[in-house]
Structure 1
Amino acid sequence: MTHPTLLHRARVLAQRFGIDITRHPSDRTGDHLVRLLDRFEIDTVLDAGAHTGGYGTLLRGSGFTGRIVSFEPLTAARAQLHRAAEEDPYWTVLPYALGDTSGTIELNVAGNAGASSSALPMLPRHRAAAPGSAYTGRQKAEVRRLDELWEEITAPGERVFLKLDVQGYEGHVLRGAGDYLDEVVGLQTETSFVPLYEGGPLFDEALGHAQRELGMSVMSMVPGFTDPDSGQMLQCDLVLFKQSDAREAALV
């Protein structure tokens, strides 16, 4: 019988607390993503649910030189996000949650340093796979519609990519973009294969909406949260771009 490696044992233990350990997982993912951003000539990335800035750091480390606008409503995570972005003049941090209304929202703060925090209730399947991600408190935050902010954070003619890491709240963010959603060239959205947050869309629904309503095609899938006991992948990120985009058509 083959015995588990030290890395494997550490990874299983860490996953119980909502943390995934791999051998340099982001390098290849970041390089692949930035090639797609370059291919579709993306100028600005809107990073919703930026947490501590891991996504922006990934983009910069992989060569993306365009603007990044990161949204993070949780105070502790946003402090780290500010530190990640402070030396970068093309990386802006805003203290908002994005949704389909503007006002105040109460967020559930997750125990895994806030990474699994959501406006939605967490379901037992999520807590069973990652007990350390269970909610430990609540925090009020300002929520804004993206269409109210659009002209402040983008410039005319910019090609925009929207990244969503909002734990089941993706539909609310997309509805809040209003008519400006037509100007989004590409989308990266976290989606679940099993119910993890109450009311959150599942994979088939998210994919169908992006294809039928937004006219986007899948260009990449990024593996995500996996149950450490069963090995079942519970979440992944879909990376999509508009298949009717004129600049993309010229590349085919």
Structure 2
Amino acid sequence: MSSPGKRSGRIVDQAKVMLHSALQKRNLDLVRNPFSVQIATAMKWLELGTVLDIGGNIGQYGASLRASGYRGRIISCEPLSDAFPLLAKRASGDAGWTALNTAVGSEPGEIEINVSANSYSSSVLPMTDAHSLAAPGSEYVRAEKVPLVTIADIVASERVDAATTLLKIDTQGYESQVLDGAGELLASFAAVQLELSMVPLYDGAQLFGDLVARMENAGFGIFALEGGFADPRTGRMLQCDGFFLRNDLMPDASGRF
């Protein structure tokens, strides 16, 4: 005869299986260690006090870090006229969160950005069929001219200490140009998070291997990866997020520098 404790454990396990199955049927899932929690944990361990959020959209990234326990400074940049007000509203109630209405690239000035129907797929670069066919509803619907600044500009104007900062870049294929605008400062950042594409989703975008090699040449190693955008027709992963840590900050097996 089984004990009450064992029966209770089986009920909990069965409930987990049922919940997992229900979520999978809706193309959803629960994970033990969400990527935002992993990042917040790493930032706490590294004692990083600032996140430079390039491609803030409506504030999803900043909000997920806050929900995961991060309490440091957030500087979010978003150029689009429809997304920025939502980002600004989200940041307005948070004294540690600054919203900047600008695009970020290789040099200051002005640039035209293609606006996607779903907003978050918007990019300076032309979208390929590989993207639009795998994500119906992501097609471009208009274009906007927006101001353009560089990472170096933001670091100077916002008095950012790169050595205690995570640079997060989610610019839909425009990551390389954003890195260009950091110049020699890139090697000073403690950590960098990039969107990495396995196939060309935007014309002219650098792919996974190129960006990983660039980060390695700048003195960074891969700390964590998160699977992202996949083609629902085939299951092939098209894009993921890579969290890079400066090599001199990388922990050893014991968790020490």
Bin of the TM-score, shorter chain as denominator length: 0.7 to 0.9
Structure-2 change in CA distance of 1:45 and 1:129 (3 Å) = same
Query: Which one of the candidate residues 135, 150, 153 is aligned to 1:148?
Result: 153
What's the CA shift for 1:7?
A: 5.3
1:26-45 to structure 2, matched below 5 A, reads: 28-45=34-51
* SS of the residue 2:83 aligns to: helix
CA–CA distance in structure 2, aligned partners of residues 80 and 24 of structure 1: 27
Instruction: Report the TM-score, using the length of structure 1 for normalisation.
Output: 0.87
2:99 is matched with which residue?
93
RMSD value over aligned CA atoms?
2.0
CA–CA distance in structure 2, aligned partners of residues 103 and 191 of structure 1: 26
CA–CA distance in structure 2, aligned partners of residues 80 and 143 of structure 1: 20
- Check if 1:163 corresponds to 2:202: no
1:115 is matched with which residue?
120
1:96-245 to structure 2, matched below 5 A, reads: 96-112=102-118, 114-156=119-161, 159-212=164-217, 214-245=218-249
Who wins on radius of gyration, i.e. which is larger?
2
Query: Unaligned regions of 5+ residues in structure 2, if any?
Result: 1-20
2:10 is matched with which residue?
none
How many correspondences in the alignment? 235
Residue type of the alignment partner of 1:235? Q
Structure-2 change in CA distance of 1:234 and 1:161 (3 Å) = same
What's the CA shift for 1:133?
A: 0.4
Residue type of the alignment partner of 1:159? T
Query: Which one of the candidate residues 72, 86, 100 is aligned to 2:78?
Result: 72
* SS of the residue 1:228 aligns to: coil
What's the CA shift for 1:23?
A: 3.2
* SS of the residue 1:244 aligns to: helix
Query: Unaligned regions of 5+ residues in structure 1, if any?
Result: 12-21
Structure-2 change in CA distance of 1:157 and 1:10 (3 Å) = closer
Contact kept in structure 2, 1:44 and 1:158, CA below 8 Å: no
Structure-2 change in CA distance of 1:205 and 1:185 (3 Å) = same
Residue type of the alignment partner of 2:211? A
2:4 is matched with which residue?
none
What is the percentage of aligned positions where both structures have the same residue? 36
CA–CA distance in structure 2, aligned partners of residues 227 and 182 of structure 1: 34
CA–CA distance in structure 2, aligned partners of residues 95 and 198 of structure 1: 25
Q: Which has the higher contact order (CA 8 A, sep 6+)?
A: 1
What's the CA shift for 1:84?
A: 1.4
CA–CA distance in structure 2, aligned partners of residues 50 and 27 of structure 1: 23
Contact kept in structure 2, 1:44 and 1:66, CA below 8 Å: yes
Residue type of the alignment partner of 1:198? D
